[in-house]
């Protein structure tokens, strides 16, 4: 079985553009999903009558349904009821929706580990629950929950590969398109495997290193 | 007396020559296929009039009829055709994965494909065209250079645009119905596919029109795995018999309405024209 | 709604394939997971590294890429794999990686005093595993395995992309048929229906997983192995 290196080199620019798109989509979705996580966790904690249950239901629904089906629903289903998002934004939206649910749980976990004494002290000082969250609770929660938040973000980058199923020309999409035209599966798949392995491995290692540093004040 | 002696041998000679031509014997079926008991063919389920879903939801189309005819010749009955829906993207992998033994699936002959599978003799040619909304400003091929074009992954159109307009903003989807929906929803300004299919869609939907400038003309052939010469020989013989017995006309008449018939008939009968 | 009822037969075929895929994957993943998980707890360092390599590889590569690699690559290696086996293999390799982590965690969570005591009693290594470690690990990994099953069921939807007619693909076929023959596009309703069915199945499994965790805690044993989250695969 030959490995056509010149072929690969010829298509590296296209693959590079795909990788850039992967990063773009992922970065946007990560930022938005963390925002969703902060808002959602706050909603749960503040126990608003309808919104809190809605947030809980949203998390349950996303965690128990496949990302691919969620993606198809957003890209193929929403337009038929009037909401047509572009290819790029459908991808960002679906990834945000999916990761947001997990970020809510990550932030909630962080909040749970914040000592209740802090909450009482804040109340004693006259801060409302919302102000407590904004200035004390959430920042601490994020610090504690940062490893899980980052891990979910790395998973998001990995799962951006699903967007190839709706035709987005991110890294996997570019590779699959080339395979469909040239049939050089071996070369393209090697690039994909190497690409994702190196990106995810590096990022996971970085997260672990970061986690270690975060623990510094608590280590003796 | 002498007349009789002159005419009869000539008649006998003529009949003996005509005999084999009438019988149109096909070569023997390879053992690997015969042992299956059924003809496993990959066909399209989203491309009228060649392969699509009929009114009852079953397989329908000219190529489906071709597959059924081959099954009848191979195993004695059209019911011995085991058909599987394939998409442009997965048809060749399905063939290689041995899910089907042949592809009659609007498969265009290209050098890249010829590297991984074998083609039969072409049975028709086909060109590509584009579908746009009726009020679209697109009048010719070059008008799409700065717009989004919808096409299917793994098709000759995908290859053609990749080669001829590499910077194009192409939206590559998986099935013809997805592509049509995308066009109607405004995700792209043009939908490029086999002219044969677009003609059918355009006649059905007055809000769309064909750009009408064909490009990427290629032959369509049956696809088989490499290294199966007996099977290929059988298929070629079957295709030749279909042509000789004028069966293509029968099937085109069955699936194509009157107005557009000449277009399809020429695809089967006339040699391939030159286009961009 | 009537569209769903009319196509119930097709949906059922799809669902059957989904469940079959999930079942095979669960069995294969468990086997792989137990073997690798046990190996990962051996003192030999190269074994632990080997298992870690396998686990990292199949957890870091997107599952869609793994399945496509098997489906497209297998014929080139001379092993033609039809869609169902290709998806089953890909899912099993991935599921096995997750299962290995669960099993490893479960074994390591069994108090080390147990291993010392067993050795003091003169039990040999395989006996320690079989009689002491694994039986205790089994109970503590059940919640995590149930969670993994929920993820496996969800992951079978990837089969739609290589031509396996599982539940998601069945939905796609119904939409295609309706769009072409009836002129209406029911994508919203059909994909919504598909989501609801997946939700019904997986929420039961997730709830079961949580129940098992609670019951485990009641007996004093903590399920130290956290169920794999879809976000951490």
Instruction: Give the model's pLDDT for residue C97.
Output: 94
Residues in a beta bridge with B117: B225
**Threshold 0.80, pTM exceeds:** yes
Q: How many angstroms away from the CA of B159 is the closest CA of chain A?
A: 6
Share of chain B above pLDDT 70, in %: 91
Residue-wise pLDDT for C139-158, tens only, equals 888 888 999 999 999 999 99
As a whole number, the mean pLDDT across chain B is 86
As a whole number, the mean pLDDT across chain C is 87
Mean pLDDT across B153-162: 90
Whether residue A111 is predicted with pLDDT greater than 90 in this model: the reply is no
Whether residue A92 is predicted with pLDDT greater than 90 in this model: the reply is yes
Whether residue B15 is predicted with pLDDT greater than 90 in this model: the reply is no
DSSP B24: -
* Chain-chain contact of A181 with B186 (C-beta, under 8 angstroms): no
Fold of C2-232: MetI-like fold (1.10.3720)
User: Which chain B residues are within 8 Å of C86, Cβ to Cβ?
Assistant: 97
Tabulate helix, strand, coil % of chain C (nearest 5).
80, 0, 20
Instruction: Give the model's pLDDT for residue C118.
Output: 85
Whether residue B241 is predicted with pLDDT greater than 80 in this model: the reply is yes
Mean pLDDT across B66-75: 93
Instruction: Give the model's pLDDT for residue C223.
Output: 59
Instruction: Give the model's pLDDT for residue B11.
Output: 61
Strands B39-44 and B81-86, bridge-based pairing: parallel
In chain B, alpha helices (H)? 2-23, 31-34, 62-75, 91-96, 111-116, 156-164, 176-184, 195-204, 229-244, 247-255, 261-269
User: Which chain C residues are within 8 Å of A172, Cβ to Cβ?
Assistant: 62, 64-65
Would you call B127 an interface residue with chain A, using a CB distance cutoff of 8 Å? no
Rounded Cα distance, C117 and C123, in Å: 9
Mean pLDDT across C35-49: 90
Residue-range domains of chain B with CATH: 39-125+218-269 (3.40.190.10), 128-217 (3.40.190.10)
Best probe of the A interface among B119, B170, B182, by most A CBs < 10 A, is: B182
* Chain-chain contact of A162 with C72 (C-beta, under 8 angstroms): no
Whether residue C105 is predicted with pLDDT greater than 60 in this model: the reply is yes
Whether residue A128 is predicted with pLDDT greater than 90 in this model: the reply is no
Best probe of the B interface among A21, A162, A165, A181, by most B CBs < 10 A, is: A181
Report residue B7's pLDDT band, with 50, 70 and 90 as the boundaries. Answer: low
Query: Which residue in the set C77, C160, C191 is minimally distant from A76, CB to CB?
Result: C191
Q: How many angstroms away from the CA of B239 is the closest CA of chain C?
A: 27
ipTM, two decimals:
0.89
In C61-186, alpha helices (H)? 63-76, 83-109, 112-120, 125-127, 134-155, 167-182
Whether residue C233 is predicted with pLDDT greater than 50 in this model: the reply is no
* Chain-chain contact of A167 with B116 (C-beta, under 8 angstroms): no
Taking alpha carbons only, the member of C171, A118, A176 closest to residue B93 is: A176
Instruction: Give the model's pLDDT for residue A109.
Output: 87
User: Which chain C residues are within 8 Å of A84, Cβ to Cβ?
Assistant: none
* Chain-chain contact of C83 with B99 (C-beta, under 8 angstroms): yes
Rounded Cα distance, B71 and B37, in Å: 10
More confident residue, A157 or B25: A157
Whether residue B10 is predicted with pLDDT greater than 70 in this model: the reply is no
Whether residue C64 is predicted with pLDDT greater than 80 in this model: the reply is yes
User: Which chain C residues are within 8 Å of B97, Cβ to Cβ?
Assistant: 71, 74-75, 80-83, 86
Report residue C221's pLDDT band, with 50, 70 and 90 as the boundaries. Answer: low
Query: Which residue in the set A79, A84, A183 is minimally distant from B115, CB to CB?
Result: A183
More confident residue, A220 or B220: B220
Whether residue C231 is predicted with pLDDT greater than 80 in this model: the reply is no
Instruction: Give the model's pLDDT for residue B266.
Output: 82
Taking alpha carbons only, the member of A100, A66, A62 closest to residue C151 is: A66
Report residue B19's pLDDT band, with 50, 70 and 90 as the boundaries. Answer: very low
Whether residue B265 is predicted with pLDDT greater than 90 in this model: the reply is no
Whether residue C2 is predicted with pLDDT greater than 50 in this model: the reply is yes
Phi-psi region of A5 (alpha: psi -120 to 50; beta: other; left: phi over 0): alpha
3-state secondary structure of B112: helix
Residue-wise pLDDT for A183-217, tens only, equals 888 889 999 999 999 999 899 889 888 888 877 77
Opening angle at CA C157, ends C153 and C160, nearest 5: 150
Whether residue C138 is predicted with pLDDT greater than 90 in this model: the reply is no
Mean pLDDT across A32-37: 95
- Taking one residue from A and the other from B, the number of pairs with CB-CB distance under 8 angstroms is 39
Would you call B168 an interface residue with chain A, using a CB distance cutoff of 8 Å? no
Report residue C204's pLDDT band, with 50, 70 and 90 as the boundaries. Answer: very high
Instruction: Give the model's pLDDT for residue C189.
Output: 93
Domain ranges for chain C: 2-232
Q: How many angstroms away from the CA of A74 is the closest CA of chain C?
A: 9
Query: Which residue in the set C56, C185, C233 is minimally distant from A155, CB to CB?
Result: C233
Residue-range domains of chain A with CATH: 5-218 (1.10.3720.10)
Residues in a beta bridge with B191: B131, B150
Whether residue A6 is predicted with pLDDT greater than 60 in this model: the reply is yes
Residues 6+ apart with CB under 8 A from A157: A22, A23, A26, A30, A199, A200, A203
Chains touching B, CB cut-off 8 Å, 3+ pairs: A, C
Residues 6+ apart with CB under 8 A from C23: none
Mean pLDDT across C111-132: 83
Which range in A82-86, A120-124, B14-18, C93-97 is most confidently predicted, on average pLDDT? C93-97
Best probe of the A interface among C157, C231, C232, by most A CBs < 10 A, is: C231
- Span of B13-17, B100-104, C205-209, C225-229 with lowest mean pLDDT: B13-17
Q: How many angstroms away from the CA of C203 is the closest CA of chain A?
A: 6
Query: Which residue in the set B87, B90, B97 is minimally distant from C81, CB to CB?
Result: B97
């Amino acid at each position: 079985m030959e490995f056509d290196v010149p072929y690969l080199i010829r298509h590296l620019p296209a693959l590079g553009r795909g990788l850039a798109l992967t990063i773009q989509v992922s970065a946007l979705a990560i930022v938005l999903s963390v925002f969703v996580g902060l808002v959602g966790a706050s909603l749960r904690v503040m126990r608003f009558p309808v919104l809190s249950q809605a947030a809980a239901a949203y998390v349950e629904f996303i965690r128990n349904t496949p990302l691919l089906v969620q993606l198809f629903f957003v890209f193929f289903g929403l337009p038929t009821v009037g909401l047509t998002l572009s290819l790029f934004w459908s991808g960002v939206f679906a990834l945000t929706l999916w990761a947001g649910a997990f970020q809510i749980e990550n932030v909630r976990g962080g909040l749970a580990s914040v000592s209740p004494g802090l909450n009482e002290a804040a109340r004693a000082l006259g801060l409302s629950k919302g102000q407590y969250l904004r200035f004390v609770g959430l920042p601490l929660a994020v610090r504690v929950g940062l490893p899980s938040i980052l891990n979910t973000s790395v998973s998001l980058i990995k799962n951006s590969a699903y967007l190839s199923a709706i035709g987005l020309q991110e890294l996997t999409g570019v590779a699959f398109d080339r395979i469909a035209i040239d049939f050089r599966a071996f070369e393209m798949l090697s690039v994909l495997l190497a690409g994702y392995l190196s990106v995810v491995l590096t990022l996971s290692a970085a997260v672990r290193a970061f986690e270690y540093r975060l623990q510094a004040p608590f280590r003796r | 007396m002498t007349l009789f002696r002159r005419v009869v041998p000539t008649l006998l000679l003529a009949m003996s020559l005509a005999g084999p031509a009438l019988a149109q014997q096909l070569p023997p079926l390879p053992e690997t296929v015969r042992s299956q008991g059924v003809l496993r063919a990959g066909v399209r389920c989203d491309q009228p009039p060649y392969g699509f879903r009929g009114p009852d939801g079953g397989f329908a189309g000219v190529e489906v009829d071709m597959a059924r005819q081959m099954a009848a010749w191979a195993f004695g009955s059209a019911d011995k055709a085991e058909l599987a829906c394939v998409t442009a993207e997965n048809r060749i992998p399905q063939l290689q994965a041995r899910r089907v033994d042949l592809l009659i699936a609007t498969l265009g002959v290209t050098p890249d494909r010829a590297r991984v599978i074998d083609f039969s003799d072409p049975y028709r040619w086909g060109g590509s065209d584009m579908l746009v909304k009726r009020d679209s400003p697109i009048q010719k091929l070059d008008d799409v250079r700065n717009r989004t074009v919808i096409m299917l992954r793994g098709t000759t159109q995908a290859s053609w645009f990749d080669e001829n307009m590499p910077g194009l903003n192409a939206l590559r989807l998986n099935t013809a119905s997805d592509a049509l929906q995308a066009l109607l929803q405004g995700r792209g300004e043009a939908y490029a596919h086999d002219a044969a299919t677009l003609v059918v869609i355009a006649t059905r939907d007055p809000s769309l029109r064909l750009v009408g400038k064909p490009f990427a003309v290629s032959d369509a052939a049956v696809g088989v795995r490499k290294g199966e010469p007996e099977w290929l020989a059988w298929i070629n013989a079957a295709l030749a018999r279909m042509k000789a017995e004028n069966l293509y006309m029968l099937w085109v008449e069955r699936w194509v309405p009157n107005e557009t018939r000449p277009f399809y008939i020429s695809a089967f009968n006339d040699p391939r024209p030159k286009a961009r | 709604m009537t569209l769903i009822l009319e196509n119930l037969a097709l949906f059922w075929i799809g669902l059957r394939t989904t469940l079959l895929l999930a079942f095979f994957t669960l069995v294969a993943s468990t086997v792989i997971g137990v073997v690798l998980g046990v190996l990962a707890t051996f003192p030999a360092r190269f074994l632990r590294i080997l298992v870690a390599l396998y686990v990292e590889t199949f957890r870091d590569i997107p599952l869609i890429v793994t399945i496509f690699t098997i489906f497209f690559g297998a014929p080139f290696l001379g092993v033609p794999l039809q869609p169902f086996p290709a998806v089953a293999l890909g899912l099993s390799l991935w599921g096995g990686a997750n299962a290995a982590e669960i099993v490893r965690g479960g074994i390591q969570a069994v108090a080390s005093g147990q291993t010392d005591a067993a050795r003091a009693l003169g039990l040999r290594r395989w006996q320690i595993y079989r009689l002491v470690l694994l039986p205790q690990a089994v109970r503590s990994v059940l919640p995590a395995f149930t969670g993994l099953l929920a993820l496996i069921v969800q992951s079978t939807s990837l089969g739609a992309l290589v031509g396996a007619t599982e539940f998601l693909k069945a939905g796609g076929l119904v939409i295609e048929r309706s769009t072409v023959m009836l002129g209406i596009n029911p994508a919203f309703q059909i994909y919504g229906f598909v989501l609801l069915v997946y939700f019904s199945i997986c929420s039961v499994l997730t709830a079961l997983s949580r129940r098992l965790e609670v019951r485990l805690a009641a007996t004093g044993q903590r399920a130290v192995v956290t169920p794999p989250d879809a976000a951490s695969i």
